[in-house]
Amino acid sequence: MALLSASANATYSAELLQAIDWMLQPEYSRRPQSAAEILSLLKSDSPNGQEGSLTSTQAASDAARSNKRNLWIGVMAGIIAFVTVRLWFDEKPAEIADSKTSTVASQPLFPDNLGNTAVTPEIKEEKSAPSTIAQLNTESDSEKKSEPEQQLEQADLEAPLKTKADEFLIRKHLDAAKKAWKKGHLTTPNEDNAHKYYQMVFAMEPDNAEARAGLRKIVDRYIQFIEKARTEGKLNMVRLYLQRAESVLPDDPKLQNIRKELAIQ
């Protein structure tokens, strides 16, 4: 195939004809690989524009590879420096400990002066004397205490200490019971009722006075419901309220009297 750039009668610029010949090369590798290469040839004033564009592209790729290589070298150098510094600081305490150990080990176990070794047992006896006296005083004090006092002290030591976390949970359950009471949730629904929260308090503190008073209020409210249902002749509601009240305080005398009256009716 004849080259257009070699034609003598061409009316177009030599750069354009060279670009056409370059793009029409039969082999793919000899054609331009990007539009930038073609533009660089068209902008050049010399017929060697093709070679210049290829050289500039290769130079750019070589520069990119060089930058990546320098970046990796810098990263590796930083890691090596960091590891070296850490190892140096880790070895310093060990060297100090070794120096202390060597100093202690260098001291003789037995001094040359035999007179000093004779004084050592006397010093130990003087130091142990106060501890022996204190032990005797403690034993005598424990003997002076009566058996009831010793039992009370033992009970105080064995009694479980209520932590601040337990106090916080108890207060939280009591507040939740008050809110349920205001909403009328005495024993129902199962997931939110005053009786349930008071039972949680008893599980942590069986003698909680506020929770016991709360149970009394629940039963008294059910007794009011029972009296109202009785006056309205709703015996089914009376039995329902009585069952719920007995689930709170089954041994309550007022509830037992109501149960007897219902049995008579």
Question: In terms of pTM, does the model score above 0.95?
Answer: no
Which of these, 152, 167, 155, 178, lies nearest to 205 by C-alpha position? 167
pLDDT at 107 over 70: no
> Taking the CA atoms of the chain, what radius of gyration do you get in angstroms?
50
**Sorting pLDDT into bands at 50, 70 and 90, what band is 56?**
low
What distance in Å separates the CA atoms of residue 45 and residue 229, rounded to the nearest whole number? 111
Average predicted confidence (pLDDT) for the chain? 75
State how far Cα 104 lies from the chain centre.
Answer: 44
Output the pLDDT for position 122.
44
What distance in Å separates the CA atoms of residue 163 and residue 171, rounded to the nearest whole number? 13
In terms of pLDDT, which residue wins out, 34 or 130?
34
Give the contacts of 32 (CB within 8 A, at least 6 positions apart): 19, 22, 23, 38, 41, 53
What distance in Å separates the CA atoms of residue 156 and residue 142, rounded to the nearest whole number? 16
In terms of pLDDT, which residue wins out, 209 or 112?
209
Output the pLDDT for position 153.
62
Kindly report, residue by residue over 161-213, the tens digit of the pLDDT. Answer: 568 889 999 999 999 999 999 999 999 999 999 999 999 999 999 999 999 99
Looking at the chain, the whole-number percentage of residues with pLDDT higher than 90 is 36
Average pLDDT over residues 135-157: 57
Residue with the two structure tokens 């024993």: 187
Average pLDDT over residues 8-17: 75
Kindly report, residue by residue over 231-264, the tens digit of the pLDDT. Answer: 999 999 999 999 999 999 999 999 999 999 888 7
